[in-house]
Amino acid sequence: MDLLLELKEIHKKTPSKILLVVLDGVGGLPREPGGPTELAAAHTPNLDRLAAEANLGLFTPVAPGIAPGSGPGHLSIFGYDPFKYRVGRGVLSALGLGVPLGSDDVAVRGNFATLAPDGTVKDRRAGRPSTEENRRVLSKLRAAISAIEDVRIDLYTESEHRFALVLRGPGLGDRVTDTDPQTTGVPPREARAEDPADERSAKTARILNRFVELAREALKDEPVINGVLLRGASKKPAFPTLGEVAGLTPAAVASYPMYRGVAELVGMVPLPLSEGEEDPDRPRTKLEALKVHWSDYDFFYLHFKKTDSKGEDGDFEGKVARIELFDALLPELLALSPDVVLITGDHSTPAVFRAHSWHPVPVLLWGPYLRTDAARRFTEDEAVKGSLGHLVGPVLLPLMLAQAGKLQKYGA
Ligand code: ZN
């Protein structure tokens, strides 16, 4: 059953406005047994006040035990079952770089690698070159390879050993196997069409294999970066939009390209953000964009990234500070008078874990039709006492819609 498509039958258009805040990777862990998590350690008077009025719970975006990437984590929050609505690695890389993708373009994630003289993979990341070095080598490749057959080859630096490759041309498929063997001591694989009868994917595979060959030739004098590994060939998926399934007119307020890209996949309009604010999350700029466009949309997705980045850096105090920074902004967000507010994360990124984790994230739902619950703060421990319980999978969207009066009865 796809809950999202069921909403199509029961949604209704109302003027009420929903504000969805995603604090990326906000869930955490204590530094020592019994200690506070990042959220519990943070001084958050405004969030506390809202939590005392709101309903809380815990949220597992994908499934228990699964540490999601930000892509599936966000899709779940937006109401899309991440097991059904998949976005390929190549497309996520390209979206992350803000690369525009046409519906027939194929995006591929590339790694620079070091190959041994016998052609086997010695280092899948070519000793993690600097991003500067990546740029230098990629421009060498660009000069050597601009097209293969009738397909244009576009290359984009991501960071360190990572780059994105976009194929633009007629008749390309994306059901293609990876050349990256995911291990060392073996040769890179040949790209192949998953189904040999799929001529479009066979064409993509042929072009990727030729690209790998030309890249080896172009890099033959390089001491370290002398090969490329490719994976995740994918086209931009055509998902039903939030307008179609839920009647929403949604906008995204996010500064990082990947989140703007994922929001666009579900039909949100990424709002333009003015330049000038030094903070990479640009909280004041985002607030300004919300104010300017508040009357134009009925659903606003507001994203903050640095809670996740600090978690990945292992910077507990830094993550606490980012939570407090959001707390300081909250009164101004609430002053816009949203009818419904939902605050959560797309996964946990505990500073002690230095990576995305599977631990459930607190979720806070505020609106006109609430029960009283015992949770008094937006923290992992308090959320357990909340009346929302433990929510798993893409169920937040219907909760927001219902609270906003945007859903009719299901069935007679
Ligand atoms: Zn994330």
What pLDDT digit, counting tens, does each position of 380-394 carry? Answer: 999 999 999 999 999
> Residue 250 Cα, ligand 1 centroid: separation in angstroms?
20
Mean pLDDT value across residues 249-272 = 94
Contacts of 278 (CB under 8 A, 6+ apart): none
Whether 58 has a pLDDT exceeding 90, the answer reads: yes
> Residue 70 Cα, ligand 1 centroid: separation in angstroms?
4
> Residue 92 Cα, ligand 1 centroid: separation in angstroms?
13
Looking at residue 79, its pLDDT comes to 98
Distance CA 359, CA 17 (A): 30
> Residue 356 Cα, ligand 1 centroid: separation in angstroms?
8
In this structure, of 192-201, 252-261, 359-368, 398-407, the range with the lowest mean pLDDT score is: 252-261
> Residue 282 Cα, ligand 1 centroid: separation in angstroms?
17
pLDDT in tens, 26-39: 999 999 999 999 99
> Residue 303 Cα, ligand 1 centroid: separation in angstroms?
10
> Residue 304 Cα, ligand 1 centroid: separation in angstroms?
9
Q: Where residue 257 falls among pLDDT bands split at 50, 70, 90? A: confident
> Residue 122 Cα, ligand 1 centroid: separation in angstroms?
31
Whether 235 has a pLDDT exceeding 90, the answer reads: yes
Q: Where residue 303 falls among pLDDT bands split at 50, 70, 90? A: very high
Q: Where residue 275 falls among pLDDT bands split at 50, 70, 90? A: confident
> Residue 311 Cα, ligand 1 centroid: separation in angstroms?
10
Looking at residue 276, its pLDDT comes to 84
Mean pLDDT value across residues 176-200 = 96
> Residue 51 Cα, ligand 1 centroid: separation in angstroms?
22
> Residue 240 Cα, ligand 1 centroid: separation in angstroms?
22
Distance CA 169, CA 154 (A): 11
Distance CA 86, CA 275 (A): 32
> Residue 107 Cα, ligand 1 centroid: separation in angstroms?
21
Parallel, antiparallel, or unpaired: how do β-strands 299-304 and 18-23 relate? parallel
Distance CA 24, CA 311 (A): 10
Beta strands in 250-379 (DSSP E): 250-253, 269-270, 299-304, 340-344, 361-366
Looking at residue 173, its pLDDT comes to 97
> Residue 24 Cα, ligand 1 centroid: separation in angstroms?
5
- What string of DSSP letters covers 17-64? -EEEEEETTBB---SSTT---HHHHS--HHHHHHHHHSEEEEEESS-T
Distance CA 173, CA 204 (A): 6
Distance CA 105, CA 293 (A): 32
Which residue from 167, 183, 171 is spatially nearest to 232, judged by alpha carbons?
167
Looking at residue 51, its pLDDT comes to 98
Mean pLDDT value across residues 197-209 = 98
Domains and CATH numbers, the chain: 3-87+238-403 (3.40.720.10), 99-234 (3.30.70)
Residue 30 contacts residue 265 (beta carbons within 8 Å): no
> Residue 270 Cα, ligand 1 centroid: separation in angstroms?
18
Percent of the chain with pLDDT over 90: 94
> Residue 32 Cα, ligand 1 centroid: separation in angstroms?
24
> Residue 196 Cα, ligand 1 centroid: separation in angstroms?
36
Task: Give the Cβ contact number of residue 376 at 10 Å.
Answer: 14
Mean pLDDT value across residues 249-275 = 93
In this structure, of 86-90, 375-379, 398-402, the range with the lowest mean pLDDT score is: 86-90
Distance CA 384, CA 323 (A): 20
Q: Where residue 1 falls among pLDDT bands split at 50, 70, 90? A: confident
Looking at residue 96, its pLDDT comes to 85
> Residue 396 Cα, ligand 1 centroid: separation in angstroms?
16
Distance CA 290, CA 297 (A): 10
pLDDT in tens, 304-314: 999 999 999 99
> Residue 334 Cα, ligand 1 centroid: separation in angstroms?
24
Whether 412 has a pLDDT exceeding 90, the answer reads: no
Mean pLDDT value across residues 167-182 = 96
Whether 299 has a pLDDT exceeding 90, the answer reads: yes
Distance CA 353, CA 362 (A): 18
pLDDT in tens, 152-167: 999 999 988 999 999 9
Q: What is the mean pLDDT of the chain?
A: 96
Distance CA 237, CA 101 (A): 10
Which has more confidence, 182 or 345? 345
pLDDT in tens, 325-379: 999 999 999 999 999 999 999 999 999 999 999 999 999 999 999 999 999 999 9
> Residue 22 Cα, ligand 1 centroid: separation in angstroms?
9
